[in-house]
Amino acid sequence: MAILGPSGCGKTMTLKCIAGLMTPDQGKIVLNEQVLFDSQQRINLPTRERKIGFLFQNYALFPHLTVHENIAFGIRQLPVAQRNERVQQLLGKMRLDRFGHRYPVELSGGQQQRVALARALAPEPQVLLLDEPFSALDTQVKERLEAELLEIQSDFQGHVLFVTHNLAEAYRLSSKMAVYETGGLLQWGERHTIIEHPANKTVARLTGMENIFDGMVSGIEGSRVDIRMGAGHLSLYPDNPSSLEVNQEISVAIRPEYVKLADNHDGNCLAVELVDSTEELTFYSYTFKIMEQVNMKAYIPKSTSPRLVLGKTYYLYLPPENLVIIGL
């Protein structure tokens, strides 16, 4: 599960509380039916008894220990032969066979991260906590390590909690997502549900759904719901239209990548004025004015259209299948 949210919202604090590095004021932490912390029962297991593997954001490797010694640190209680066998197994899995004798300062950032991950996995934890593990890496190294992490996850039998503020990263590496803001959990569940059916406007914005508009239900016919907005009319097909009523005020949202250019003002099209334009690597990022003080973002692939002209009026098509009613 990915824990997603802006800086300072409590993501890392959650991991530290689970690991026993911080003590919550109140509440309960349970892992596989074992109570790790309970403020009412005054239970607070020490970190060493929690069966937790923690990969810190800065890796926190011991600079005076070799790679082999760093990985072995958490399993010092094992017999030497068993300990060495476990370390060699992890060195092979992390493609670090030739680096066991080196010190952290002699490694690249990506290699240091793999050592830290191996050290976290060495005691065979029940849960692996990852705190923004890719934030300090360049794009190529990051992509390679993401693939390695997915490979490791397929072998790892425990739970994985992955902290990030990068939505694409969270989606690629997790099956479930939890969205935080200012110390509170706003929504959690299957990643597809979080992305396609945000619980409120805050979750929608935090998960990249930048276009959010207020409107009113003007008609319901079977599975189709018609929405009246200041800029025009839209139709969409929500999962449970029976929960809506005519004249009900609602919020409708769509992701910028789903907005398309249209030739005319047919169904689900809005007339808009282009007010800002930015060229990205493979697409143009446009900002259109659709109503007074209301803008719409659209990411239009370069392959589908030449660059649009600022100040001109265009038509945008909002596919019904990509429109979402917030909080429904």
Assign residue 250 the CATH number of its domain: 2.40.50.100
pTM of structure: 0.83
**Confidence at residue 328, expressed as pLDDT on a 0 to 100 scale:** 58
Burial class (CB in 10 A: 0-12, 13-18, 19+), 177: buried
Share in percent of the chain as helix, strand, coil (round to 5): 30, 35, 35
The total of structural domains in the chain comes to 2
What is the distance between the alpha carbons of residues 72 and 28, in angstroms, rounded to a whole number?
Answer: 31
Collapsing DSSP to helix, strand or coil, 191 comes out as helix
| Residues 175 and 220 placed together within one structural domain of the fold | no
Under DSSP, the state recorded for 270 is E
| Residues 122 and 66 placed together within one structural domain of the fold | yes
Q: 207 lies in a domain? A: no
| Residues 12 and 140 placed together within one structural domain of the fold | yes
Q: 209 lies in a domain? A: no
- Mean pLDDT within 202-208: 92
pLDDT tens per residue, range 136-161 = 677 777 777 788 788 777 778 889 99
Q: Determine the number of helices (DSSP H) and then strands (DSSP E) in the chain.
A: 8, 19
Domain boundary (167, 202, 237) is at 202
For residue 251, the enclosing domain spans 216-325
**Confidence at residue 151, expressed as pLDDT on a 0 to 100 scale:** 79
Domain boundary (179, 202, 225) is at 202
| Residues 179 and 246 placed together within one structural domain of the fold | no
Output the CA–CA distances (angstroms, integers) from residue 67 to 13, 87, 101, 141, 241, in the order listed. 28, 9, 6, 19, 58
